[in-house]
Amino acid sequence: MLLGGLEAGGTKMVCAIGKEDGTLIDRVSVPTGTPKETIPELIKYFKEKKVQALGIGCFGPLDLNRSSKSYGSITNTPKEGWAGINITEQMKEALDIPVGIDTDVNAAVLGEVVYGAAKGCSSALYMTVGTGVGVGVYINGGLVHGLVHPEAGHMMICRDQADTFQGCCPFHADCVEGLASGKALEKRYGRKAQELSDRADVWELESSYLAQAVANYILVYSPEKVILWGGVMHQKALLPMVREKVKKLLNGYVSHPLLTERIDEYIVYPLLGENPGILGAIYLGMEEMKRGTC
């Protein structure tokens, strides 16, 4: 069975063909232009590959309420031209196959649960720290949805007393994305994250902010695995610093050996490298096929 996966990002659209076991057969990248420019290219690729189902992990926010008339639509995104676009319906009508959709970070956590670092877990959390901060949540065997979907990248955290940076989020001055995203690092220091590797003070502050967020996620969701990735996490010293600060913040209150003795097995990098989102998208397509929708 050939399954399609689409990782729809604000900069590029990653299209892939895979099998149920997680084997990737083909993968291409299409620049994200306007919907009129981009969506026909996506349709052409998947038509030529003759996929039997398609899953989409998409930037958002998204309407994921199946009873809504706009189900599968991108809602109030700042990405110019994409607000109100029902990418799910357009792909479904053009390809005449089942099409599943979720947020890009929910697709990523799903990929790691099915094929990667969280395989066998009934709950897991995936946090990507890049230009922005996104969090995918998988609890009790399913992706978390509610009134809309989790926006844990905008969780409020306590600002360091010496930090005079005003934050880069237009909605919240002191949220994780506003203080600890790649965009925040660049605006605060005038250099991109990869150019700041020699600045110990940068990573001391960054790890403090990320550890606050992770500790809060642990207290709220109690995941069996926490996975951290994204461009900022490529800084090798960062993950160990976050682990140690999470332990200090929790202070033994959450009593489990994975937190008190083996935290390096608990807060980890993705096992799938750069592929959790696309593999999670493929799995979304397979699950949509099982629902019998088309």
Convert the pLDDT of each residue in 41-78 to its tens digit.
999 999 999 999 999 999 989 999 999 999 999 998 87
Q: Do 90 and 151 belong together in one domain? A: no
Specify the 3-state DSSP secondary structure of 71: coil
Q: Do 195 and 256 belong together in one domain? A: yes
194 assigned to some structural domain: yes
More confident residue, 16 or 61: 16
Predicted confidence band of residue 10 (pLDDT cuts 50, 70, 90): confident
Q: Do 35 and 70 belong together in one domain? A: yes
> What would the two tokens of residue 52 be?
């039997």
Q: Do 217 and 188 belong together in one domain? A: yes
Whether the predicted pLDDT of 186 surpasses 90: yes
> 148-180, pLDDT tens digit by residue?
788 899 999 999 999 999 999 988 889 999 999
**Average pLDDT, rounded, for the chain:** 95
Predicted confidence band of residue 293 (pLDDT cuts 50, 70, 90): low
What is the structure's pLDDT at 254?
A: 95
Whether the predicted pLDDT of 294 surpasses 60: no
Helices 276-291 and 104-115: crossing angle, nearest 10°?
Answer: 90
With beta carbons less than 8 A apart as the criterion, state whether 17 and 51 touch.
Answer: yes
Specify the 3-state DSSP secondary structure of 248: helix
Tally of domains in the chain: 2
User: What single letter denotes the amino acid at residue 235?
Assistant: Q
- Alpha carbon of residue 19 to chain centroid: 22
110 assigned to some structural domain: no
Longest distance between any two alpha carbons in the chain, whole Å: 56
108 assigned to some structural domain: no
Q: Do 63 and 126 belong together in one domain? A: no
Mean pLDDT of 66-94: 94
What is the structure's pLDDT at 150?
A: 83
**Distances, alpha carbon 13 to alpha carbons 8, 151, 278, in Å:** 5, 22, 10
Q: Do 127 and 259 belong together in one domain? A: yes
Predicted confidence band of residue 264 (pLDDT cuts 50, 70, 90): very high
Mean pLDDT of 25-37: 96
181 assigned to some structural domain: yes
Specify the 3-state DSSP secondary structure of 16: strand
Predicted confidence band of residue 226 (pLDDT cuts 50, 70, 90): very high
Whether the predicted pLDDT of 222 surpasses 90: yes
Residue 98 belongs to domain with CATH number? 3.30.420.40
Whether the predicted pLDDT of 79 surpasses 90: no
Q: Which domain holds residue 14?
A: 3-103+275-291
**Distances, alpha carbon 15 to alpha carbons 22, 64, 124, 229, 243, in Å:** 14, 21, 25, 20, 34
pTM: 0.95
Q: From CA 162, how far away is CA 40, in angstroms rounded?
A: 50
> 104-163, pLDDT tens digit by residue?
999 999 999 999 999 999 999 999 999 899 999 999 999 999 887 888 999 999 999 999
Q: Do 165 and 84 belong together in one domain? A: no
Query: DSSP label at 159?
Result: P
Q: From CA 154, how far away is CA 236, in angstroms rounded?
A: 24
Predicted confidence band of residue 283 (pLDDT cuts 50, 70, 90): very high
